[in-house]
A and B are shown apart, each in its own frame.
Chain A
Amino acid sequence: MTAGGYFGQALVVNASTGTSQTLELPDELLRAYIGGAGLGAWLMHHLGPPGVDPLAPEAPLAYVFSPLVGTPLTTSAKFAVVAKSPLTHLLTDALASSHFAIAGKLTGYDAIVVTGARAKASALLIDHNGARFEDAAELTGLTAAQAGTRLRQRLGERLGRGWRVAAIGPAGERGVRYATISHDGRHAGRGGLGAVLGAKRIKAIAVRAAAKVAPADPNAVLAAARDLRERSFGPATAKYRELGTLANLLAFNAISTLPTQNFQAATFDGAQKLAAEDLAAARQVARHSCASCTIGCEHIYAAKSGRKTRVEYENIFALGPMCGVSDPDAVLAASARCDDLGLDTISAGGTVAWAMECAERGLIDAPWLRFGDADALLKVLDQIGAREGLGDLLAEGSRRAAQRVGAGSQNFAPHVKGMEMPGYEPRTLHAMALGLAVNARGADHNRSGAYEADLSGDLDRLDGGDAHVAAAVETEDRAAVMDSLILCKFLRGVFTEPFTEWASLLSAVTGWHVDGAELRRTARRIVLAKRVYNLREGWRPADDWLPERLLSEPLRLASGREAGLTPARLRAMIDAYYAARGLDEQGQPGPAQLADLRLSWPP
């Protein structure tokens, strides 16, 4: 009997043939990987051909749900999109929150996997009539939002209501390696999943509920939901509720943690102009919540043009300070442009910042592209989305672009494993430096929350050592569980004994008797499964590293203290991380660890 909250099966759709089949997901496997990013990692092991080109038809892409989806537990309406990344050629998983998660799961599957490719632009429909494709030529070139609206309207007229649509924008159609998949203004943003779907010529996936699934103990789930909702109104989430993540910007600037002009500095003179503390009063027009969420972290600002844009710290950081742009209207316009094109704002901003530095150094022929030039920023984003001119190079991401330009530009390409860096300065956040270096997805602040330790005051953020390693392991484990249950990380502060409390939630939904210790083992398994996938796909020890600039150019803090991160210190932390994870000196697991991953399933 399948556990509560699960259907015990995945739908595997072959886009080349238009056929589909069911993949059984036994209880033991679900318990080992839960759902979301964890189950997605296993699916990629199981269904992805080793060494596959991420943009080849054979490469699978999975929408993965979780046992908590559909319950009244706050922030649980999330889904993971998982594939081999065209940006990193390693595993990537990106989460989004929306009604797509609920409708997608209630198609009757814990995951929907797409392989193969269509001959022409298509939309994939899944409901009680199963999976089928239909022509999507009229959606080509539209933004994800436009495509979603148009397709829902079309399906509604013909097949009735209830459809939810996740779509790609023009960047995904044109194979930009950091293109997104979007639904309802929420993006599965990192790693180029939109390009994977675009390579399959699938513009959109539409899902409609067709089945029901109940938790094992509905009363316990309801009680937990009430309790969690109350806690979600407390001080632990006040920041997200009142100002949103953009509240980071001015604070990070004050403590030299705001990457600026392609990591040439960690403070930005124009930070005040982009600060949530000021902009919220002048520009905020609305605050929204994701589906099934009681926090309400979405802060919508209006530019002078009237265009409304959802602001987060990461999009404002990447398109503002990282590119030296301080005009809030320009940054909001750039963010909106990324949404329209279907571009990951972090990778777009990082790649453009690298190009601006190259242009200023005379390494590329683009004299119009300069730090701080807002018009140039918008122009180059359009070029990237269209893969025209310089944009064709930059659509490849900073690592590939730097390999082509050469001339030392690799040293300041702001990426780890090919993924552009988020807005956390590693030289002033040593635990985060380690988290960024070793994470399976690449430079990533959602799979490693080690910055929490750096900013906690419990350790010296400029003096990385054993405590920083322990923090990096712990936060990575916590992220692995939250991304698999799935719960929003903005909720993390309300849990006092997170693994125990999460185990209790999972037990109530599934009927399993899971405790905190088991969930800790599950976390380690998921983290390792991602690493082992990467090993299979060609990861090398040198990939667990940071850009040369960050290891050779120290910063000077306002206090007068020098903030640097030496290669020796990073090496020592990485070695200690490997030891803490039970890996050998080359970052490789042993046979017992591999056996625990259940990669040969059924056994």
Chain B
Amino acid sequence: MPGSAGVVLAGGRSSRMGTPKAALEWHGSTLLRRTVGILARATGGPVVVVRAPGQDLPELPPDVEIISDPREGKGPVQGLAAGLGAIAGRAEVAFVSSTDMPFLHPAFVRRVLRAVHEGADVGLPVARGHPQPLAAAYRTTLAVTADRLVQAERLRPAFVFETCTVARLDEATLKTDPVLAALDPGLDSVVNINEPGEYRTARSQPGPEITVQRFGVLANGSAPNGRRAPETVRAATVAEAAAAVGVDFGAHVTAALNGDQITRDGQTPLAAGDTVFFLSADAGG
């Protein structure tokens, strides 16, 4: 969405998980890699990861900006101050996410961002029984407010909401978006994982259902009509999608996501309803 950006707050201690959540394996990728990929897709703008000073992060795409939180241990409002501050001037709105939501869907992100584009200062989902301040959209000018609150040791997101216009998006409201209702009917987007058992349960689920189509020499084959017909597979990344249909995702193949972004990065995350086109990288002629 024009004027939008993504902020991922990755600096939590992961104390209940016992291992850094950002680096948890996710279908051949990592949780953090997935989150930044979803935000990049949904916003079309810059994506900033806010980490604790000295915190190791898994490998991320080169265009992801990483900043270190100057004030450690001050919680999400400090993360908001740092992340929104890093975006200010380059985007009007940022979707702010924690790193531990493996089912976050781009349609959810876009729906929530729209609340701020339509006039609110914060788009706050209220789903699965709770407000979701770390799956919410914020006007980037709120960086100043967040910073002031941290200095006053008022460290809960609710204090931010007291200062501005908040659009509370309950489940019914969210599902008025037909795309979101179709692709994430259970609002799994807000599911976060905090303990090893939750991670194992989430990880054991099959990847999202997507459609794959091959073109050119990749569609040549001995099957009736070659291998041209679209196929439905379950895959959480482009690499998984390629493997599911027997495409060698090497130097001479690219993938186009929903007919739009083209990538060679196998870790590019996929979400339910996506279409992946596998193309020959040699496009001359």
Q: Given the complex, which residues of A lie within 8 Å of B261, measured CB to CB? A: 457, 460, 559
B260 at the interface (CB under 8 A from A): yes
With beta carbons under 8 angstroms apart, the residue of B219, B252, B284 that contacts A490 is B284
B22 at the interface (CB under 8 A from A): no
User: Which partner residue on chain B sits nearest A492 by CB separation?
Assistant: B284
A256 vs B258: C-alpha distance in the bound complex, in angstroms? Answer: 11
A251 contacts B281, C-beta separation under 8 Å: no
Q: Given the complex, which residues of A lie within 8 Å of B255, measured CB to CB? A: 457
A277 contacts B215, C-beta separation under 8 Å: yes
Interface residue count for B (Cβ, 8 Å)?
33
With beta carbons under 8 angstroms apart, the residue of B44, B215, B226 that contacts A254 is B215
B259 contacts A559, C-beta separation under 8 Å: yes
A460 vs B43: C-alpha distance in the bound complex, in angstroms? Answer: 14
A251 contacts B263, C-beta separation under 8 Å: no
With beta carbons under 8 angstroms apart, the residue of A239, A254, A457, A492 that contacts B263 is A457
A137 at the interface (CB under 8 A from B): no
Would you give the shortest CB distance from A268 to chain B, in whole angstroms?
A: 14
Q: Given the complex, which residues of B lie within 8 Å of A276, measured CB to CB? A: 216
A57 at the interface (CB under 8 A from B): no
B252 contacts A247, C-beta separation under 8 Å: no
A245 at the interface (CB under 8 A from B): yes
Q: Given the complex, which residues of B lie within 8 Å of A247, measured CB to CB? A: 215-217, 280, 285
A558 contacts B258, C-beta separation under 8 Å: yes
Q: Given the complex, which residues of B lie within 8 Å of A489, measured CB to CB? A: 284
User: Which partner residue on chain A sits nearest B255 by CB separation?
Assistant: A457
B217 contacts A239, C-beta separation under 8 Å: yes
Interface residue count for A (Cβ, 8 Å)?
45
**Known contacts A247-B215, A248-B283, A452-B284; is-contact A235 B262 (Cβ 8 Å):** no
A277 contacts B259, C-beta separation under 8 Å: no
A312 vs B258: C-alpha distance in the bound complex, in angstroms? Answer: 27
Q: Given the complex, which residues of B lie within 8 Å of A461, measured CB to CB? A: 262
Mark each residue of chain B from 96 to 138: 1 if its CB lies under 8 Å from any CB of chain A, else 0: 0000000000000000000000000000000000000000000
A579 vs B256: C-alpha distance in the bound complex, in angstroms? Answer: 32
B226 contacts A277, C-beta separation under 8 Å: yes
B285 contacts A313, C-beta separation under 8 Å: yes
User: Which partner residue on chain A sits nearest B280 by CB separation?
Assistant: A239
B262 contacts A455, C-beta separation under 8 Å: yes
A557 contacts B217, C-beta separation under 8 Å: no
A245 vs B217: C-alpha distance in the bound complex, in angstroms? Answer: 11
User: Which partner residue on chain B sits nearest A237 by CB separation?
Assistant: B282
**Known contacts A277-B220, A457-B254; is-contact A254 B213 (Cβ 8 Å):** yes
A276 vs B282: C-alpha distance in the bound complex, in angstroms? Answer: 15
A576 at the interface (CB under 8 A from B): no
B264 contacts A557, C-beta separation under 8 Å: no
Would you give the shortest CB distance from B268 to chain A, in whole angstroms?
A: 9
Mark each residue of chain B from 30 to 48: 1 if its CB lies under 8 Å from any CB of chain A, else 0: 0000000000000010000
A238 contacts B259, C-beta separation under 8 Å: no
Q: Given the complex, which residues of A lie within 8 Å of B251, measured CB to CB? A: 235
A451 at the interface (CB under 8 A from B): yes
User: Which partner residue on chain B sits nearest A463 by CB separation?
Assistant: B44
A277 contacts B260, C-beta separation under 8 Å: no
A490 vs B285: C-alpha distance in the bound complex, in angstroms? Answer: 8
Would you give the shortest CB distance from B285 to chain A, in whole angstroms?
A: 3
B228 contacts A277, C-beta separation under 8 Å: yes
A238 contacts B252, C-beta separation under 8 Å: yes
B217 contacts A242, C-beta separation under 8 Å: yes
A276 vs B260: C-alpha distance in the bound complex, in angstroms? Answer: 22
**Known contacts A235-B252, A455-B254, A558-B260; is-contact A449 B284 (Cβ 8 Å):** yes
Known: A247-B280, A251-B216, A561-B260. 14 other contacts (CB 8 A): A235-B250, A235-B251, A235-B252, A248-B216, A251-B277, A254-B213, A254-B256, A277-B219, A449-B284, A452-B284, A557-B259, A558-B259, A558-B275, A559-B257
| Interface positions of B (Cβ within 8 A of A) | 44, 213, 215-217, 219-220, 226, 228, 250-252, 254-265, 275, 277, 279-285
| Interface positions of A (Cβ within 8 A of B) | 235-240, 242-248, 250-251, 254-256, 276-278, 281, 312-314, 445, 449, 451-452, 454-458, 460-462, 489-490, 492-493, 557-559, 561
Between-chain CB contacts (< 8 Å), 24 pairs: A235-B252, A236-B252, A239-B216, A239-B282, A240-B282, A243-B216, A243-B217, A247-B280, A247-B285, A248-B283, A251-B279, A254-B213, A254-B277, A255-B256, A277-B220, A278-B228, A457-B261, A492-B284, A493-B281, A557-B260, A558-B260, A559-B257, A559-B259, A561-B260
Q: Nearest 4 A-B pairs (CB), nearest first?
A: A245-B285, A247-B216, A559-B260, A251-B215
